[in-house]
Chain A
Amino acid sequence: MNIVVCIKQVPDTETQIKIASDNKSIVTDDIKWVMNPYDEFGVEEALRLKEKFGGEVTVVGLGPKRVTESLRTALAMGADKAVLITDDALEGSDSLAVAKALAAAIKDLEYDLIFTGQRGVDDDMGVAGASLAELLGIPHVALAVKVEVAEDGKSVKVHRPVEGQTLVIESGLPVLITAQKGLNEPRYASLPGIMKAKKKPLDEKSLSDLGLDSAQFGQEGRKVKVLELTPPPERAAGKIVEGETPQEKAAELARLLHEEAKVI
């Protein structure tokens, strides 16, 4: 069973995000970059399936050279090979453009399953996985918390929680599944794994290597444009309602809700 896992590199969830002076992007200096946590669930699931069914796990990442580190982490966890799509023209691309580049890199690979995270924890768009499936012409099952591949390796049942119930979706292969929290507990990369990772193949592909037109990528190629980033509004200080007795306090509260907050 050959499995592809798409990996995005995102700011560590503990990073304090600062908005850049253009009001459209974030300051990337001093950010610690990590593998998107939802993609990590995908890597773990792929490795478990490989342990059961054999085959190869290929991880595909996209972005600047630093993304190599996240791909190496996946290789250290046990993936077999990696592909990095890297090209200056990709800077500023939207989710659809990312899916196009991923599709171009994946279409010639042999795969039975593709995992992506259900969304990146940076932009929270949740679009790349579904778009990729569409571009590859394969089914897409979102938000998996359990993946059961049939013993014959020909179909898969995917569990997804819906409003306190579980929806079980069956699909033939190949299929793209997006992973979410609860699917598994990702392993730590072992020391021998880390040492072996540097010897595993990691191919770099530019847009022209993939036969893509760079005009469709980057800021210019965006279908979705970011107009402005704003920090969450600062919370105003609270107000303590004064009064001698509970009745007085209640009356004062009612007055404030009516006259100041204007909610009653």
Chain B
Amino acid sequence: MDFDLKEEHRMIRDMCRDFSQEVIAPRAEEIDRKREYAYDIIARMGELGMMGIPISEEYGGSGGDWVGMQLCIEEISRGDVAFGALLDVTTSVVAQELDVFGTEDQKRTWLVPIAKGDKIGAFGLTEPDAGSDAGSIRTTARLEGREWVINGSKQFITNIGLDNASLIVTAAVTKNPEKGTRLISTFIVPKDAPGFILGNRYDKLGWHGSATHEVVFDNCRIPEENLLGDPARGFAQHLTVLQTGRISIAAMSVGVAQACLDESVRYSKERMQFGKPIGRFQAVQFKLADMSVAIELARNQYLKAAWLKDQGRRHTFEATVAKLFASEMVEKVASDAIQIHGGYGYIAEYPVSRYYKGAKVLQIVEGTSEVMRIILSRELGL
């Protein structure tokens, strides 16, 4: 058994950490306050190859693996979780779905620019009336001649509001051409397709640097060849890549929690009360100790899940444990970080208030904590 990261993993982690702390973290407060999309930072992440870590060089990636990708996502999220969300969606979910299920032509056309970071991908499954019950989506796609015509709407679409977002990989209901039964298929919808409408930008609690919008398909027409993968297995394809997305959410949670711990340790050494730094009081020490325990366990778990994926082994249980534990952990850690900061923790001048706002949604995206528990119950044979 070997718990050491490989040399390349350490180098990826260290480089991403330096970039995150030197380039992203100093800008995070302003990005959040102004709700800006930091295209310059996104471009540099692309140039450094972060969007294509697990994609082969042939398709514009770096030829690395998922352990490397998730380490990158942790470190980037430690600077600003909005950029971790960008990576999760464009790489873990969209690039992977194109890579695993796309044809050679689709990979050349759509995957290469996304893996290089020139273009950003978005993913659409959730609808107004289909959240955790994702199988009940109503968006439809029907074949007319050589074109698919898509109608419906998608909710909470990360990245799609970016100017350089090129496409949304989206699920829609189709019919089995012979039996006429209901199928869920997956389509590549370019942002410039006729009938693609970029809806409103959401006013979220946190993640303000992340471009989350509604998307509407109004007789949206795409070429027949934009069907991605097996038309009968669109839902299963989504679940495959979402499982990786769950590992990414765990990595993002660890990144945010680590930032909470970093700030809290620093503050505990500086803040004087009753004549000594508050870090000398056990009430504070024990909170910090518990934070470090939770972060360590969550980090080990997401790395284990990523490692299993790299080995090509089944990892449903491990990825679900990572997602559930890490996202629940980070909300508690962020809450404790504010408690340690006292009143200062609640004002925007200190970053822990931003971390707290960014933590909550990690229990919701890529499957809620409740859905995670359903999956785990099934793994237990219930």
Most buried by B among A72, A73, A188: A188
A76 and B15 CA atoms in complex are apart in Å by: 10
CB < 8 Å: which of A72, A76, A189, A195 contacts B64?
Answer: A195
- Asked if A246 is an interface residue, CB under 8 A from chain B, the answer is no
Which chain B residues numbered 1 to 41 have a C-beta less than 8 Å away from chain A?
7-8, 10-12, 14-15, 18-19
Chain B residue with minimal CB distance to A75?
Answer: B11
Other than the given A191-B53, A198-B8, 8 more pairs (CB < 8 A) read A72-B7, A188-B48, A190-B48, A191-B48, A191-B72, A192-B57, A193-B49, A194-B8
- Asked if A69 is an interface residue, CB under 8 A from chain B, the answer is yes
B interface footprint on A76-93 (CB within 8 Å = 1, 0 otherwise): 100000000000000000
Q: Judging by beta carbons under 8 Å apart, are A195 and B62 in contact? A: yes
Q: Judging by beta carbons under 8 Å apart, are A69 and B7 in contact? A: yes
Q: Judging by beta carbons under 8 Å apart, are A194 and B18 in contact? A: no
Known: A69-B7, A76-B11, A188-B48. A194 touches B62 (CB 8 A): yes
Contacts of A192 in B (CB 8 A): 49, 57, 62-63
- Asked if B345 is an interface residue, CB under 8 A from chain A, the answer is no
- Asked if B52 is an interface residue, CB under 8 A from chain A, the answer is yes
Give the shortest distance, in Å, between A113 (CB) and chain B (any CB): 26
Give the shortest distance, in Å, between A98 (CB) and chain B (any CB): 25
Contacts of B15 in A (CB 8 A): 76, 188-189, 191, 194
Interface size on A, residues (CB 8 A): 15
Which chain A residues numbered 159 to 217 have a C-beta less than 8 Å away from chain B?
188-195, 197-198
A76 and B14 CA atoms in complex are apart in Å by: 12
Q: Judging by beta carbons under 8 Å apart, are A194 and B47 in contact? A: no
Can you offer 18 A-B residue contacts whose CB atoms are under 8 A? Answer: A68-B7, A69-B11, A72-B7, A188-B48, A189-B11, A190-B47, A190-B49, A191-B49, A191-B53, A191-B68, A191-B72, A194-B12, A194-B15, A194-B64, A195-B8, A195-B62, A197-B8, A198-B7
Contacts of A68 in B (CB 8 A): 7
Contacts of B10 in A (CB 8 A): 69
Give the shortest distance, in Å, between A16 (CB) and chain B (any CB): 12
Known: A191-B52, A192-B49. A73 touches B11 (CB 8 A): yes
Contacts of B220 in A (CB 8 A): none
A226 and B239 CA atoms in complex are apart in Å by: 63
Chain B residue with minimal CB distance to A32?
Answer: B14
Which chain A residues numbered 103 to 140 have a C-beta less than 8 Å away from chain B?
none
- Asked if B257 is an interface residue, CB under 8 A from chain A, the answer is no
A73 and B14 CA atoms in complex are apart in Å by: 10
A192 and B52 CA atoms in complex are apart in Å by: 9
Chain A residue with minimal CB distance to B48?
Answer: A190
Q: Judging by beta carbons under 8 Å apart, are A191 and B12 in contact? A: yes
Give the shortest distance, in Å, between B374 (CB) and chain A (any CB): 36
Give the shortest distance, in Å, between B8 (CB) and chain A (any CB): 6
Chain A residue with minimal CB distance to B53?
Answer: A191
Give the shortest distance, in Å, between B263 (CB) and chain A (any CB): 16
Give the shortest distance, in Å, between B83 (CB) and chain A (any CB): 15
CB < 8 Å: which of B11, B47, B48, B50 contacts A197?
Answer: B11
3 cross-chain pairs, A with B, having the tightest CB-CB distances, nearest first: A191-B49, A191-B62, A192-B62
A57 and B72 CA atoms in complex are apart in Å by: 28
A188 and B23 CA atoms in complex are apart in Å by: 11
B interface footprint on A217-237 (CB within 8 Å = 1, 0 otherwise): 000000000000000000000
A193 and B47 CA atoms in complex are apart in Å by: 11
Give the shortest distance, in Å, between B128 (CB) and chain A (any CB): 38
Contacts of A191 in B (CB 8 A): 12, 15, 48-50, 52-53, 62, 64, 68, 72
A195 and B15 CA atoms in complex are apart in Å by: 13
Give the shortest distance, in Å, between B262 (CB) and chain A (any CB): 12
Give the shortest distance, in Å, between B166 (CB) and chain A (any CB): 20
Most buried by B among A73, A191, A193, A197: A191
Q: Judging by beta carbons under 8 Å apart, are B11 and A194 in contact? A: yes
Contacts of A189 in B (CB 8 A): 11, 15
A73 and B8 CA atoms in complex are apart in Å by: 10
Give the shortest distance, in Å, between B21 (CB) and chain A (any CB): 11
A68 and B15 CA atoms in complex are apart in Å by: 16
Contacts of B49 in A (CB 8 A): 190-193
A76 and B8 CA atoms in complex are apart in Å by: 10
Give the shortest distance, in Å, between B109 (CB) and chain A (any CB): 21
Contacts of A194 in B (CB 8 A): 8, 11-12, 15, 62, 64
Chain A residue with minimal CB distance to B60?
Answer: A192
A194 and B8 CA atoms in complex are apart in Å by: 6
Contacts of B18 in A (CB 8 A): 188
A197 and B72 CA atoms in complex are apart in Å by: 18
A197 and B14 CA atoms in complex are apart in Å by: 15
Give the shortest distance, in Å, between A69 (CB) and chain B (any CB): 7
A186 and B64 CA atoms in complex are apart in Å by: 23
Give the shortest distance, in Å, between B80 (CB) and chain A (any CB): 17
Contacts of B12 in A (CB 8 A): 191, 194
Q: Judging by beta carbons under 8 Å apart, are A195 and B63 in contact? A: yes
A193 and B48 CA atoms in complex are apart in Å by: 9
A194 and B52 CA atoms in complex are apart in Å by: 13
A197 and B49 CA atoms in complex are apart in Å by: 14
Give the shortest distance, in Å, between B15 (CB) and chain A (any CB): 5
Give the shortest distance, in Å, between A9 (CB) and chain B (any CB): 13
Contacts of A198 in B (CB 8 A): 7-8
Contacts of A73 in B (CB 8 A): 11, 14
A195 and B50 CA atoms in complex are apart in Å by: 12
Give the shortest distance, in Å, between A154 (CB) and chain B (any CB): 33
Give the shortest distance, in Å, between B58 (CB) and chain A (any CB): 12
A193 and B18 CA atoms in complex are apart in Å by: 16
B interface footprint on A130-162 (CB within 8 Å = 1, 0 otherwise): 000000000000000000000000000000000
A190 and B48 CA atoms in complex are apart in Å by: 4
Q: Judging by beta carbons under 8 Å apart, are A72 and B47 in contact? A: no
Give the shortest distance, in Å, between B175 (CB) and chain A (any CB): 42
